[in-house]
């Protein structure tokens, strides 16, 4: 059931991939998991995932890994697409509470999510 819910979340966000993020492919370059913008993108992605959930418990970020970045240069603005692997844990907060994931205590189960976020 949890796997089904997790897959439906990823489909709803349009960010499902079977393989990990490619390395040095089509302008995608390795990023640093310690970079402030990468951490902010991971936190934003997790917040959006939690807001989209309708049942279960709020996810909290356990670990960020496999960060890759693609930059798009457009005439008036630049866009960055983050390819991230988020290891998450469930919290004690129900998704119905709509609490921020940072304010919730961690439960004992864990999951792995792959997220793509364009900023």
H, E, C per residue of 44-85: HHHHHHHHHCCCCEEEEEEEEEEEEEEEEECCCCEEEEEEEE
Count, in order, helices (H) and strands (E) of the chain: 2, 4
pLDDT of res. 5: 47
Which CATH number characterizes residue 107's domain?
Answer: 3.10.450.10
Rounded to two decimals, what is the model's pTM? 0.67
Has residue 85 been placed in a domain?
yes
With respect to residue 9, please indicate whether it lies within any of the assigned structural domains. Answer: no
Q: What is the pLDDT of residues 81-114, one digit of tens each?
A: 999 999 999 999 999 999 999 999 998 765 666 6
Q: Quick check: 61 pLDDT over 90? A: yes
pLDDT band at 14 (very low <50, low <70, confident <90, very high): very low
Mean pLDDT of 52-80: 87
Distance CA 54, CA 8 (A): 11
61 within a domain of the structure (yes/no): yes
Average pLDDT, the chain: 78
Number of domains in the chain: 1
Domain coverage including residue 101: 28-118
In a domain? residue 2: no
CA torsion sign for 110, 112, 118, 119 is positive
CA–CA gap between residue 2 and residue 26 (Å, rounded): 34
Residue 57 confidence (pLDDT) above 50: yes
User: Which has more pLDDT, 74 or 60?
Assistant: 60
């Amino acid at each position: 059931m949890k796997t089904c819910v997790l897959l439906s979340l990823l489909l709803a966000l349009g960010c499902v991939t079977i393989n990990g993020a490619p390395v040095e492919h089509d302008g995608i370059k390795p990023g640093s998991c310690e970079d402030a913008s990468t951490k902010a993108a991971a936190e934003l992605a997790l917040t959006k995932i939690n807001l989209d959930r309708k049942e279960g418990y709020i996810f909290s970020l356990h670990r960020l890994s496999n960060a890759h970045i693609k930059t798009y240069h457009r005439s008036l603005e630049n866009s960055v697409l983050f390819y991230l692997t988020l290891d998450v844990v469930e919290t004690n907060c129900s998704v119905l509470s709509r609490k921020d994931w940072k304010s919730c205590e961690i439960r004992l189960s864990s999951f792995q999510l792959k997220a793509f976020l364009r900023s």
